[in-house]
């Protein structure tokens, strides 16, 4: 059976992360059978990380504030998490299923495919987003 996505519910979670008037800075999308549905959202990145267990595959849309002394800005990332104990068939399927998520999650600076929990560290994600962000004026402030 082909995977489907709950477009309205997922779009609602996506928009909460994008909205500058909310504190929500992450949303997760998980599989329930053959359907991708919202798995929650929150303000604490550690909460998001706690959902990324060895036996699960999910998608995360995360807002991280980056910048330097001259300018702070919100950067968004799409994280695809595949736990170590996810079967080969499910691993293979996630690439095609990601297109369903990308129909909703359209604006992000960088995309990550992660299966190692160390790569989920917020500092690592922030550093990679900063690299993707262009000009960095930190050195001028010293």
Strand, coil or helix: 120: helix
Which residue is listed with tokens 């998608």? 59
pTM above 0.85, yes or no: yes
| Residue 123 resides in a domain | yes
Domain range for 106: 4-133
Residue 142 pLDDT:
42
Tell me the pLDDT of the chain (142 aa) as tens digits.
799 999 999 999 999 999 999 999 999 999 999 999 999 999 999 999 999 999 999 999 999 987 667 777 889 999 999 999 999 999 999 999 999 999 999 999 999 999 999 999 999 999 888 887 665 555 544 4
| Residue 140 resides in a domain | no
Residue 77: CATH number of its domain: 3.40.20.10
Residue 114 pLDDT:
96
Strand runs labelled E in 83-136: 110-114
| Residue 80 resides in a domain | yes
For residue 35, list its beta bridge partners: 4, 32
| Residue 40 resides in a domain | yes
| Residue 142 resides in a domain | no
| Residue 139 resides in a domain | no
Q: Which residues contact 28 (CB under 8 A, 6 or more apart)?
A: 38, 39, 40, 41, 48, 51, 58, 59, 60, 61
| Residue 141 resides in a domain | no
| Residue 53 resides in a domain | yes
Q: Structural domain tally of the chain?
A: 1
């Amino acid at each position: 059976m082909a995977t489907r996505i709950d477009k309205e519910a997922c779009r609602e979670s996506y928009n909460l992360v994008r909205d500058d008037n909310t504190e929500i800075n992450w949303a997760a999308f998980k599989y329930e059978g053959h359907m991708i549905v919202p798995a929650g959202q929150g303000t604490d990145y550690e909460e998001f990380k706690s959902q990324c267990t060895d036996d699960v595959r999910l998608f995360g849309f995360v807002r991280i504030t980056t910048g330097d002394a001259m300018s702070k800005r919100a950067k968004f990332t799409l994280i695809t998490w595949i736990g170590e104990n996810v079967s080969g068939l499910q691993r293979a399927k996630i690439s095609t299923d990601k297109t369903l998520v990308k129909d909703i999650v359209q604006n992000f600076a960088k995309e990550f495919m992660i299966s190692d929990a160390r790569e989920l560290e917020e500092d690592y994600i922030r550093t990679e987003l900063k690299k993707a962000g262009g000009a960095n004026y930190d050195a001028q402030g010293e």
